[in-house]
Amino acid sequence: MSGVEQALARAEELLQELDGRRAELERLAEAGDVDGDAAVDVITEIAELARRIEAELTQARNLADAAG
């Protein structure tokens, strides 16, 4: 597996994790008694996952550009 494919695979795994956190946030939002601290924690996790996904995609793009 090439470096580009590895970076894209990691980005896809992170995206699946992000989707799970998004679903968790929806469950929290639908709860009758919303736990604000828990929601902030999940949003923080989502933001970190998004940064990691962006880094993997940037790496894949850079590797693809270098390979020409």
Q: Select the more confidently predicted residue: 33 or 26.
A: 26
Domain count, the chain: 1
In the predicted model, is pLDDT for residue 24 greater than 80?
yes
Q: Can you give the residue range of the structural domain that contains 25?
A: 3-67
- The interaxial angle of helices 3-30 and 36-67, nearest 10 deg, is 160
In the predicted model, is pLDDT for residue 55 greater than 90?
yes
- pLDDT the model gives residue 52: 98
CB count in 10 Å sphere of residue 8: 19
Rounded to two decimals, the pTM is 0.89
Q: What whole-number distance in Å separates Cα of residue 17 and Cα of residue 11?
A: 10
In the predicted model, is pLDDT for residue 32 greater than 80?
no
